[in-house]
Amino acid sequence: MKFHKEGIPSLIITLIVTAIINALTINFCAAYPIIIWLGWALSAFLLITILQFFRNPTRSITINENHIIAPADGKVVVIEEVIESEYFNDKRLQISIFMSPLNVHINRYPISGIVKYSKYHPGLFLVAWHPKSSTENERTTIVVKHKNGQEILFRQIAGAMARRIVNYAQENDAATQGSEFGFIKFGSRVDLLLPTNVKVKVGLEQKVTGRHTVIATFE
């Protein structure tokens, strides 16, 4: 288990805050041991929260060109056909994964190929399960073209708590299935917009694991 680089600023801030809390309780509340213990407990809670949120578990992968794998940990909250109007302007199968604050928040390429499109959109911070969050929230849109000629689109979507989306994908980059393309801080959602002829392998409310769970397969 490793600590993700995106968490280093948050860890430094947390260490400073916990040091201040403990210094204040020890210096000004020495007559009240219960307050000192509460300060220690709060410090431990903050550190554990940051360490678990930015954890980077080691996960092996066997690349399969026919598989579309989960780009994130979380729960499947949407499986439906929609009209995608930003890039394809046609009907696509949308599969959305909600990421709670307890999930690993690393985002990974669901397929291998070439990044054909990568764009950031400023927006709102509606709760991640809101129907309009996919088109109105702060988000990034990425499209990867598979070697079979098919393209899939995926979006990192900010939620009410997620106020920072990190996207490493640049147009013309080589994407490798399972490798990192970004990170979303503190609860969020990832949408997959797939060709309608794929074979779906997950169901609503199913928990999925990034880099492991097969979301769909190409026909």
Q: Which two tokens stand for residue 99?
A: 């990421």
Contacting residues for 184 by C-beta, under 8 A, at least 6 apart: 99, 105, 107, 156, 157, 158, 162, 164, 165, 166, 190
Extract the runs of DSSP E, i.e. beta strands, from the chain.
Answer: 2-3, 55-56, 67-69, 74-84, 90-99, 106-108, 113-121, 139-145, 151-158, 165-167, 174-175, 180-184, 188-194, 199-200, 207-208, 214-217
Distances (CA, A) of 11 to 3, 50, 101, 161, 215: 10, 7, 16, 18, 33
Catalytic residue list: 188
